[in-house]
Structure 1
Amino acid sequence: MVGDDPRRFIPSTAALLAHPRVRSAALSQHVIDQTIHRAQERARRGELPPGQVEAEVLARLDSARPSSMRPVINATGVVVHTNLGRAPLSAAARDAIVDASGYVDVEMDLETGRRSRRGASARSALLAACPPAEDALIVNNGAAALALACAALVGRGIVVISRGELVEIGAGFRLPELIESAGAQLLEVGTTNRTHITDYARALGRIPEGTPACVLKVHPSNYRISGFTAGATVAELSELSKHHGLPLVADIGSGLLTHEPALPEEPDLSTTLSDGADLVIASGDKLLGGPQAGLLLGSSAVISQLSAHPMARAMRTDKLTLAAMEATLNGGRTPVSDALHADPEELRRRTEGMAESLDARTVPHDGRVGGGGAPEFPLPGWAVQLPQAAASLLRRHEPPVLARTHDKTCLIDLRCVPPGDDPTVLEAARWALEELSSARGSDA
């Protein structure tokens, strides 16, 4: 009978919306409505007793977060981990983002009350950190920077590039396709493993006079070719490009400002410009340790040409990125720098202490730069070795701890873990081992 149908006891939407805890939930109305309707639908399907609908709604609203992104602890040993958001920001950069979240003078000269150049302070900080650059432009990522360079300098002209530098990076993203999407034509020179300056010279000699063109040198970033190899240097290409009256563009990828002794083979902005590049492109969220951004530094004439192109407006950065970038450049050491220069003996001490607390082994473990920087270059360190099954449990912890799985083991590398988070990692590891022990006991 209808009168006996338990569904008639399901609380109404109006009644649930009137509940004080629902009314005070710091969530948008559509999220609250969806939460209520889902609980009511579960009750109508018989999956939830009507008397528990209110409790279900309140529990879900209490645990709901406006953003689904969750902070995690990076215990993989990979410093610039793309899947974890690449570079963690410094405290100065995080504070700057908070300050910039309201009204700020991003395009306002407070002295005159007139409009000013957008991001002028971030640009000044970048130029101060890289003296060989005459001017700079910041766009929303590295791919945008390369696309803008090709569109503004070449248009439907020709980009001369070595076959060994036609790279594909993560998620199937290919630089040749990006360059062609900007309207340019590729003129490939050399071979996969060997490209000489004479290869470039012959190619430039075949370009019809008056055709817009540039020479592009790309750092392969996330792979290495070793053995019987050869390549032209930036200095060699600069001399040749100037002889033909063409700009030399160098995409160095990971964004070191100056030479880093810890990564001797990684190119940097200052050296590349000093060697004669007219324009250097790099990412802001890799070895620089800042927010996602594409950095373009070079001669005033080239940067002016890029800034005046219509695509520059479509690729411009927001105020939060500009604030974080300026603070990254002016605020001292970054978490990326700290992880890169972590003392192996200090890592060993921390790792051995945690392993002893867990009755686990300490094993040598090489960290990595990640994010396409310094491929195959080891960062010597140590790790706590746990059973492989612990890795999935660590990811379920709150906060989640991301470890590395290798050779049927779970490795906890503390290189990228702030020392203050060691107790949290230890707690997560203990919990994971207890869960594994309980599961083995249940199976016995």
Structure 2
Amino acid sequence: MSADPRRQVPRTDTLLADPRLRAVGERLGRGLVKGAVQRVQQQIRDGELASPQAVDAVLASLPGTASSLRPVLNATGVLVHTNLGRSPLSPAAVAAITAAAGTTDVELDLATGRRGPRGEAAITALLDAVPAAEAAIVVNNCAAALALVATALGQGRELVIARGELVEIGDGFRIPDLLVSTGARLREVGTTNRVTLADYRGALATDTGAVLKVHPSNFVVRGFTRAVEVAELASALEDVPLVADVGSGLLRPHPLLPDEPDLQSTLAAGADLVLASGDKLLGGPQAGLVLGRADLVQRLRRHPLYRALRVDKTTLAALEATLRGPLPPVQEMLAADVDGLRARARALAGRLAEAGVDAVAVDAEARVGGGGAPEHPLPSAAVSLPSSFAERLRRGSPPVVGYVEDGRTLLNLRSVPPSGDDELGTAVLAVVDG
């Protein structure tokens, strides 16, 4: 009877009282640790684990944090990968979030002791980065920014937009559905492939709330096409606001992305408001940025919906640090030297080959992602492995997400910081040994 493993199961309170588990319980929460204890107890009952190994098994099964989100190595070559949380934050932004996590002066003027403007420092940093803007506000994402604009300027009125810009983007999200849900009426102009200035002019009426230009994301029309640029459109409008959703959050023109609109140039060309995401090419936290004319921005700020869409203190802190601090990771990825990427791929492939892995360095292409610059692939380099590695690496610790191309798993290094190469190699060797 003493050989029955069920008799060897340690008591729950005994395990939870272990100093190592008690310490980790203070960090992760007692409930999370207790759940891990119960799973290990079941393994002992099933004869899969010996009782003396219980505490070590509990510790090994616990996550690093109380969150279920796991850090992932992005080897997809997609710099702004929506499924992987878009842009990774800079160390400066991460430190700012930590500092802002407690009680802060987010709405307090410490000099007077009275309520102060919310997020003033982040707004000032944004205006310093985009001097063509008179004012700015920040909401929780770009869709929220568009919804706020459509509600404040277009509810019960018409919003004029080109048919070719009524697009669907990721996860079935459709721009026209969002706009109509705000109570605005859409006035579509032009055709899918061609729109002229006369089309816009002909649509303007006394109940026009705004003219919208929306970044088409990954949708591209080729051939017999015609579009009206912001500068041309702005010159034809008088009292009707021109609102441009530029999407990716690029602050200024970038030499590698010649067709990607940016905030500064769009405002300088005559847009009254520009909208963008904070977590794409800007490289910051998820946020919707609205910049432009002071009177229009104030109108949005005073609208009741703004209260429901505003961001929290940690987002404001991360955004300011992204704008004020060192180059964020996504900008470093964009600026990566191709020869340097090839050298990294050769070194990593050589390390793996020496360990007996079928690994070779190859040239590859990377992408901006997040709907940005869909027609401008970025030259890159990758480590090529057998196709069976793709799933095994995703299931590893840490998970590594690559992609399969022509029967091989590619680990694209443009989306991996140089500091991640050693961890990437270790992760590959771990799944081989496993």
Quick check: TM above 0.5? yes
CA displacement at 1:31 relative to structure 2: 2.2
- Is the CA contact 1:155–1:212 (under 8 Å) kept in the aligned structure 2? no
The match for 1:213 is 209
Q: More deviation in 54-63 or 227-236? A: 54-63
Deviation at 1:391, TM superposition (A): 1.5
In the alignment, what sits opposite 1:375?
A: 374
Q: Deviations over 1:131-178 (max 9, x none)?
A: 000000011111100000111111121111111001111111111111
Residue among 257, 260, 269 paired with 2:254: 260
Look up the SS of the partner of 2:79 in the other structure. Answer: coil
1:350-361 alignment, distance < 5 Å: 350-359=344-353, 360-361=359-360
1:331 aligns with 2:325: yes
Flag structure 1 segments of 5+ consecutive residues without an equivalent. Answer: 436-444
Asked if 2 retains the 8 angstrom alpha-carbon contact of 1:80 and 1:87, the reply is yes
Q: Of the candidates 54, 58, 61, which is equivalent to residue 60 of structure 1?
A: 58
2: distance between equivalents of 1:323 and 1:171?
29
CA contact (8 A) 1:137 1:303 kept: yes
Shift of 1:12: 4.3
CA contact (8 A) 1:35 1:57 kept: no
Alpha-carbon distance, 1:394 to partner:
2.1
Confirm or deny: 8 A CA contact 1:369 1:375 kept in the other structure: yes
Show CA shifts across 1:221-280 (max 9, x none). Answer: 2221111111111112212332xx211110000011111111000000011111111110
Partner Cα distance (2:352, 2:37) in 1: 44
Task: Within 5 Å, give how 1:187-198 maps onto structure 2.
Answer: 187-198=187-198
3-state DSSP of counterpart to 1:79: strand
TM-score by length of 2: 0.91
Residue identity in the other structure for 1:67: S
Q: Is the 8 A contact 1:7 1:50 kept in 2?
A: no
Report which stretch shifted further, 66-75 or 316-325: 66-75
Q: 1:10 to 1:381 in 2, by over 3 A?
A: closer
Quick check: 173-182 or 396-405, which moved more? 396-405
Q: Equivalent residue for 2:356?
A: none
CA distance in 1, matches of 2:329, 2:36: 38
How far apart, CA to CA, are the structure 2 residues paired with 1:313 and 1:188?
30
* 1:10/1:418 CA distance change after superposition, 3 Å: closer
Displacement, 1:399? 2.1
Q: Which amino acid aligns with 1:59?
A: A
Other-structure match for 1:159: 159
Could you give the per-residue CA deviations for residues 80-132 of structure 1, whole angstroms, max 9, x where no partner exists? 11111111111211111111112221111122222110000000000000000
TM-score (structure 1 length as normaliser): 0.89
User: How far apart are 1:364 and its partner, in Å?
Assistant: 1.9
Mapping of residues 108-257 of structure 1, within 5 Å? 108-204=108-204, 207=205, 209=206, 211-242=207-238, 245-257=239-251
Matches of 1:255 and 1:311, distance apart in 2: 23
Q: Cα distance, 1:49 vs. partner?
A: 7.5
* Residue 31 to residue 381, structure 1, CA distance change in 2 (3 Å): closer
**Is the alpha carbon distance of 1:338 and 1:49 closer, same or farther for their aligned partners in structure 2, counting shifts above 3 Å?**
closer
Where does residue 27 of structure 1 map in the other structure?
Answer: 28
Q: What is the aligned-residue identity percentage?
A: 52
Instruction: Describe how 1:307-322 pairs up with structure 2 within 5 A.
Output: 307-322=301-316
Q: 1:412 to 1:58 in 2, by over 3 A?
A: closer
* Alpha-carbon offset, residue 56 of structure 1: 4.1
Residue in structure 1 matched with residue 389 of structure 2 by the alignment: 390
| Residue matched to 2:365 | 366
How many aligned positions are there?
425
Give the secondary-structure state (helix, strand or coil) at the position aligned to 1:24: helix
Give the match's secondary structure for 2:255: coil
Structure 2 unaligned segments of length 5 or more: list them.
354-358
1:308 maps to amino acid: R
Separation of aligned partners in 2, 1:5 and 1:358: 45
Between the aligned partners of 1:127 and 1:84, the Cα distance in structure 2 is 29
Native 8 Å contact 1:122 1:323 kept in 2: yes
Stretch deviating more after TM superposition (55-64 or 114-123): 55-64
The structure-2 alpha-carbon separation of the partners of 1:6 and 1:339, relative to structure 1 and needing over 3 Å to count, comes to: closer
Residue in 2 that maps onto 1:438: none
- State the AA in 1 paired with 2:340: E
Distance 1:120 1:386 in 2: 49
Q: 1:200 to 1:358 in 2, by over 3 A?
A: same
* 2:36/2:62 contact within 8 Å kept: no
Give 1:62 deviation, angstroms.
4.8
Counterpart of 2:333 in 1: which secondary structure? helix
SS at match of 1:415: helix
- Distance in 1 (CA, whole Å) between partners of 2:346 and 2:219 is 33
**2:297 matched residue in structure 1:** 303
Indicate if the aligned counterparts of 2:36 and 2:61 stay in contact, CA closer than 8 A.
Answer: no
Distance in 1 (alpha carbons) for counterparts of 2:429 and 2:42: 39
Give the CA deviation at 1:212: 5.0
Deviations 1:300-324 (A, max 9, x none): 0100000001111111111111011
